[in-house]
Amino acid sequence: MKLYNTLTKKIEEFTPLNPPNVAFYSCGPTVYDYTHIGHMRTYINNDLLKRTLKYLGFKVKHVMNITDVGHLTGDDDRGEDKMEKGAKKTGKTVWEVAQFYTDFFLKTIKKLNIEYPDILCPATKHINEMINLIKILEKKGFTYETKEAVYFDVKKYKKYGALSNQKLEEKIKGAREEVYIDKDKKNPADFALWFKRVGRFADHTMHWDSPWGDGFPGWHIECSAMSMKYLGETVDIHAGGVDHIPVHHENEIAQSEAATEKTFVRFWFHNNFLMVDNQKMSKSLGNFYTLDDLKKHNIEPLAIRYLFLQSHYRSIMNFTWQSAKAAQEAFKNLVNKIIELKQEEKKLSLSKTDNKKIEDYKEKFKKAISNDLQIPEALSIFWSLIKSDLTPSAKLNLIYDFDQVFGLKLWEINHLIPEEIIKLANKRLILRQQKKFAEADSIRKEIKKKGYLIEDKIINNTLFYTIKKI
Ligand SMILES: [Zn+2]
């Protein structure tokens, strides 16, 4: 499989360290607010990567963190803790906030048919692992302590900036223009491993004992500590959003490799931004749409998944309500095609299946997905298959096979049409065969009221019908 690696800025041949096993870590949500379409795109793309790897025969172990402490409003130690902010806003405790938004996140990914990670790990359950990692860094001389925090000294880690291609001097220059609070911090690019419960954090609700006093961990250390705990010192793929590249992921690399002296991540996989109406998503524009907002516009979760299949993970995507509606339409169309195929499959005596064509489709599909996840191309191969002259059963077999990657739950469409509707449709067919057209038509209307459309078809000189969802 070919995969773009942010570290080398090249598409490379992906092979895991211990084939066929793939150690896969993805940065999870900070659970202080609702999961919105920007998150959805990232988690769907990560899911497509995971499903593709599995389809190609790899065994994936997937670990995802839940950030429930230490993530400040600025990724670089500025601002307040996002969890505490969420608690203030809602009048709940930080623990309640974490639970509420974790549940919301899990419900969202379930509806989007995103596979659960093998291990889902909240930061607050791994404080000891983080403290131990900080202790190692301290012993090796990569840290220093101020009255307010323990910092990682980025100047001591020579390769700092390799992922984002940022020179440390530029980063320091950029950071100097920002206001930051701890006057004893040596260098603006240094980042906190541990915040003490003093000064601006004197009232911080979540806090633990540590060798550096009462306090809480910085955000970045959690991913290194949990990744190492569950996947070992080197992982094959680490995924996140492009916004993680300059700070969060640089810091993860620095602290991990300083501690272990080994490569932390072999392939970095980054999802590009989602824009809304050609603008960056923001609170003031009120465009952090959730699944509930989509529902109000009659857009199903799986139609949103379908929408995201149409753009490559490395390109910026623009969301509009028009594009969402078009995706809903296309998804419904797909569902109806499958319903139709299911019915034809039962009724038609099958002609000889063209094995060569089936293999060709499989080959093309595999080639697309294993070429740095060209899902949009795979989707167009999928549609050309549906429109091809292969038999319904051959098509359905391939559709279900490809859907292992797309994750549109197409298998379940088997059971979508209620028995009641099928009985009515059969009754109507008999009436038509008896030329009782008026009675047949009143049944058609009854079926329509119940949300289904009957279409007649003549295949091989035999009259039969297909049922579609309206
Ligand atoms: Zn992370």
Q: Three-state SS string across the chain, please? A: CEEEECCCCEEEECCCCECCEEEEEECCCECCCCCCHHHHHHHHHHHHHHHHHHHCCCEEEEEEEEECCCCECCCCCCCCEHHHHHHHHHCCCHHHHHHHHHHHHHHHHHHCCCCCCCEEEEHHHCHHHHHHHHHHHHHCCCEEECCCEEEECHHHCCCCCCCCCCCHHHHHHHHHCCCCCCCCCCCCCCEEEEEECCHHHCCCCCCECCCCCCEEECCHHHHHHHHHHHHCCCEEEEEEEHHHHHHHHHHHHHHHHHHHCCCCEEEEEEECCEEECCEECCCCCCCCCCHHHHHHCCCCHHHHHHHHHCCCCCCCEEECHHHHHHHHHHHHHHHHHHHHHHHHHHHCCCCCCCHHHHHHHHHHHHHHHCECCCHHHHHHHHHHHHCCCCCHHHHHHHHHHHHHHHCCCHHHHHHCCCHHHHHHHHHHHHHHHCCCHHHHHHHHHHHHHCCEEEEEEEECCEEEEEEEEC
CA of 263 to the centre of ligand 1 (A): 16
Give CA angle at 62 (259, 27), nearest 5°. Answer: 60
Q: Higher model confidence: residue 44 or residue 451?
A: 44
Q: Would you place residue 346 in the very low, low, confident or very high pLDDT band (cuts 50, 70, 90)?
A: low
Q: Higher model confidence: residue 400 or residue 182?
A: 400
CA of 252 to the centre of ligand 1 (A): 8
CA of 27 to the centre of ligand 1 (A): 4
Token output for 337 = 């095609």
CA of 264 to the centre of ligand 1 (A): 13
* Lowest pLDDT segment from 222-236, 286-300, 424-438: 424-438
| Domain 292-415 architecture | Up-down Bundle (1.20)
Report pTM. 0.89
CA of 219 to the centre of ligand 1 (A): 8
CA of 424 to the centre of ligand 1 (A): 55
Query: Domain spanning 2-271: which CATH class is it, in words?
Result: alpha beta
In whole angstroms, what is the distance from residue 146 CA to residue 191 CA? 12
- Listed ranges 105-109, 203-207, 425-429; the one with the highest mean pLDDT: 105-109
Q: Would you place residue 284 in the very low, low, confident or very high pLDDT band (cuts 50, 70, 90)?
A: confident
CA of 248 to the centre of ligand 1 (A): 7
CA of 315 to the centre of ligand 1 (A): 21
CA of 325 to the centre of ligand 1 (A): 33
Return the pLDDT at 17. Answer: 97
CA of 28 to the centre of ligand 1 (A): 7
CB 37 within 8 A of CB 354: no
CA of 397 to the centre of ligand 1 (A): 38
CA of 114 to the centre of ligand 1 (A): 19
pLDDT digits (tens, 9 = 90+) for 424-454: 988 898 888 888 999 999 999 999 998 888 8
In whole angstroms, what is the distance from residue 46 CA to residue 41 CA? 9
In whole angstroms, what is the distance from residue 424 CA to residue 441 CA? 11
CA of 168 to the centre of ligand 1 (A): 21
Per-domain boundaries in the chain? 2-271, 292-415, 419-469
Return the pLDDT at 207. Answer: 95
The rounded percent of the chain whose pLDDT value lies above 90 is: 70
pLDDT digits (tens, 9 = 90+) for 56-81: 999 999 999 999 987 887 777 777 88
CA of 217 to the centre of ligand 1 (A): 13
Whether 222 has a pLDDT exceeding 90, the answer reads yes
CA of 171 to the centre of ligand 1 (A): 20
Residue 294 φ then ψ, to 5°:
-65, -40
Q: Would you place residue 348 in the very low, low, confident or very high pLDDT band (cuts 50, 70, 90)?
A: low
CA of 223 to the centre of ligand 1 (A): 5
Return the pLDDT at 174. Answer: 57
Q: Would you place residue 24 in the very low, low, confident or very high pLDDT band (cuts 50, 70, 90)?
A: very high
Residues with CB under 5 A from ligand 1 (ion): 27, 223
Whether 135 has a pLDDT exceeding 80, the answer reads yes
Q: Which residues fall within 8 angstroms of residue 394, CB to CB, at 6 or more apart?
A: 353, 354, 357, 358
Whether 388 has a pLDDT exceeding 90, the answer reads yes
Whether 172 has a pLDDT exceeding 60, the answer reads yes
Task: Tell me the Ramachandran region of residue 199: left when phi exceeds 0, alpha when psi lies from -120 to 50, beta otherwise.
Answer: left
Specify the pairing of strand 317-319 against strand 274-276: parallel
Whether 334 has a pLDDT exceeding 60, the answer reads yes
CA of 170 to the centre of ligand 1 (A): 23
* Lowest pLDDT segment from 33-42, 87-96, 227-236: 87-96
Whether 83 has a pLDDT exceeding 90, the answer reads no
| pLDDT (average), residues 10-39 | 96
CA of 211 to the centre of ligand 1 (A): 24
Whether 233 has a pLDDT exceeding 60, the answer reads yes
CA of 380 to the centre of ligand 1 (A): 33
